[in-house]
């Protein structure tokens, strides 16, 4: 038995070494936009919207697996497949909406990091945004083919900090089990809960993560060889399923923990409708150590997610426009809207929540083509999505579109 275990260990070790792309993509699911949306939802409505996060995380597992599968099987990312199949005008238009999504993503990440630096060290918000942008640019220099694994390790390290920072409060203030189970029953209470649900959905199932995951697996595993591609794809997809499930269980737990922490410790308190107010309330309710860990988690979230968001933006442009621009140039351009928001004094938490709603509107543009391509036998061969996965992804797209239509109607009707 000992000999057999020793014989298997190198194989198991190689399999573990192939994990990582989904953990990078999962950073998109624990970014500062998630913090703003989930803390606001828990502080204002208690456990009411727990079901939104559970449903969003289930959808995220399915969608991220589809994106990774497209990259593993075809050796092309979702933006590359779109770039090959869309006519020029459609490509440019599609890229335009994807860049708006990328800008909304950067807005959330940089504002969140700036808030964290302000809470921890009193750094002015604009300077904090600049610092986050510079550090994320340094992180991006690791994200090339030869150093991809290093980039993944750094991001996974930041994810560990996020987990500790955002889950620490639950040790001191455990959730109410009965109320939590009640929050699993789907229901809404008026226009604001629709806005929050759309925001939470946009913060959880993020468009740039859908585009990015197919790129990450290619950058990590390379393109399929001319021979033996099917056997290789089978092996990588087994590992990818484990990668996606593990990464998104962690991300889902963090998101639910944020809402539950707010519902347990902040519900009904004045001033908890902002991250700054929530931080102060956490300090008052749970002590400065937990509040400090919360701010450190927010900082790690901002740093990691803005690097990953810029990575995604570069992949989208390269795939759709067949152009690449230097990392520094792209970083400067995408930082401008976030720094402008900070400079003019727009409330940061409100800007974060609105940015997540914008992301929610971008999800169908990423999800519908992904569903179409992973169901295309000419493209995917024997790895085409089965009927159950096609129906499930179609249902997810329909739910997101319906929620966004309801949001528009309720906003203007009210």
Strands (E), 68-211: none
Q: What is the pLDDT of residue 288?
A: 93
69: CB partners within 8 A, 6+ apart: 237, 240, 374, 380, 383
Higher pLDDT, 413 or 24: 24
Q: Report, as an integer, the average pLDDT of 10-31.
A: 76
User: Would the pLDDT of 3 be above 50?
Assistant: no
Question: Residue 278, CB half-sphere, CA atoms under 13 Å: how many?
Answer: 30
What band does 7 get if pLDDT is binned at 50, 70 and 90? very low
Distances (CA, A) of 39 to 82, 118, 324, 414: 36, 18, 37, 24
Query: Is the pLDDT assigned to residue 1 strictly greater than 50?
Result: no
Res 335 pLDDT > 60? yes
Question: What one-character DSSP code corresponds to residue 228?
Answer: S
User: Cα-atom radius of gyration of the chain, to the nearest Å?
Assistant: 21
Give percent above pLDDT 90 in the chain: 46
Encode pLDDT of 32-65 as tens digits: 888 888 988 999 999 999 999 999 999 999 999 9
Taking 50 as the threshold, does the pLDDT of residue 8 lie above it? no
- Three-state DSSP at 92 gives helix
Helix ranges (H only) for 266-287 are 275-286
- Provide the strand spans (E) within 83-242: none
- Mean predicted confidence (pLDDT) in 86-98: 91
What does the chain come to in residues?
Answer: 414
The answer for residues whose C-beta is within 8 angstroms of residue 344's C-beta and 6 or more apart is none
DSSP 8-state secondary structure symbol assigned to residue 225: P
Nearest to 155 by CA among 15, 302, 33: 302
Tell me which residue of 235, 209, 205 sits closest to 309, measured CA to CA: 209
- pLDDT tens, residue by residue, 94-153: 999 988 887 788 888 899 999 999 999 999 999 999 999 888 888 877 766 556 778 888
At residue 77, the pLDDT reads 95
Min mean pLDDT across 14-18, 285-289, 355-359 is at 14-18
Residue 342 clears pLDDT 50, i.e. is over it: yes
Q: Which pair of structure tokens corresponds to residue 196?
A: 């929050």
3-class secondary structure, 227: coil
Mean pLDDT score, 307-324: 88
Tally: H helices and E strands in the chain:
18, 0
Distance CA 389, CA 377 (A): 14
Per-residue pLDDT of 362-394, as tens digits, reads: 888 998 999 999 999 999 999 999 999 999 988
Closest by Cα among 191, 247, 267 to 61: 247
Report which of 329, 399, 405, 397 is spatially closest to residue 367, judged by C-alpha positions: 397
| pLDDT of 4 above 70 | no
CB atoms within 10 A of CB 63: 26
Q: What is the mean pLDDT of residues 155-180?
A: 91
Q: To the nearest whole number, what is the mean pLDDT of the chain?
A: 86
For the stretch 186-208, pLDDT in tens is 998 888 888 788 778 766 788 88
Average pLDDT for residues 212-240, to the nearest whole number? 84
Mean pLDDT value of segment 350-360: 78
Mean of pLDDT values over 274-298: 90
């Amino acid at each position: 038995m000992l000999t057999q275990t020793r014989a298997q260990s190198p194989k198991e070790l190689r399999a573990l070494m192939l994990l990582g792309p989904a953990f990078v993509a999962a950073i998109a699911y624990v970014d500062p936009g998630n913090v703003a949306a989930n803390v606001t939802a828990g502080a204002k409505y208690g456990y009411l919207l727990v079901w939104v996060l559970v449903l969003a995380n289930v959808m995220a597992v399915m969608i991220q697996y589809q994106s990774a599968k497209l990259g593993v099987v075809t050796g092309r990312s979702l933006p590359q497949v779109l770039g090959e199949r869309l006519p020029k005008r459609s490509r440019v238009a599609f890229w335009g909406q994807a860049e708006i999504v990328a800008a909304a993503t950067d807005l959330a990440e940089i504002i969140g990091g700036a808030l964290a630096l302000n809470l921890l060290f009193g750094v002015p918000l604009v300077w904090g945004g600049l610092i986050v942008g510079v550090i994320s640019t340094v992180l991006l220099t690791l994200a090339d083919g030869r150093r991809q694994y290093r980039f993944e390790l750094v991001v996974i390290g930041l994810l560990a900090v996020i987990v500790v920072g955002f889950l620490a409060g639950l040790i001191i203030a455990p959730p109410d089990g009965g109320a939590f189970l009640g929050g699993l029953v789907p229901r809404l209470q008026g226009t604001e809960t629709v806005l929050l649900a759309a925001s939470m959905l946009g913060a959880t199932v993020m468009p740039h993560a859908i585009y990015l995951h197919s790129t990450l697996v290619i950058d990590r595993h390379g393109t399929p060889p001319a021979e033996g591609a099917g056997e290789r794809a089978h092996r990588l997809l087994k590992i990818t399923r484990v990668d996606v499930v593990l990464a998104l269980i962690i991300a889902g737990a963090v998101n639910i923990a944020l809402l539950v922490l707010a519902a347990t410790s902040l519900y009904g308190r004045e001033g908890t409708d902002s991250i700054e107010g929530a931080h102060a309330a956490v300090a008052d309710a749970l002590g400065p150590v937990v509040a400090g860990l919360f701010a450190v988690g927010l900082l790690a979230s901002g740093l990691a997610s803005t690097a990953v968001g810029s990575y995604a933006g570069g992949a989208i442009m390269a795939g759709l426009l067949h152009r690449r621009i230097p990392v520094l140039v792209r970083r400067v351009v995408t930082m401008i809207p976030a720094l402008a928001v900070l400079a003019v004094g727009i409330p940061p938490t409100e800007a974060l929540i609105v940015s997540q709603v914008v992301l929610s509107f971008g999800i169908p543009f990423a999800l519908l083509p992904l569903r179409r391509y992973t169901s295309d036998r000419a493209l995917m061969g024997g790895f085409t999505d089965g009927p159950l996965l096609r129906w499930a992804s179609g249902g997810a797209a329909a739910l997101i579109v319906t929620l966004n239509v309801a949001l528009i109607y309720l906003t203007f009707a009210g």
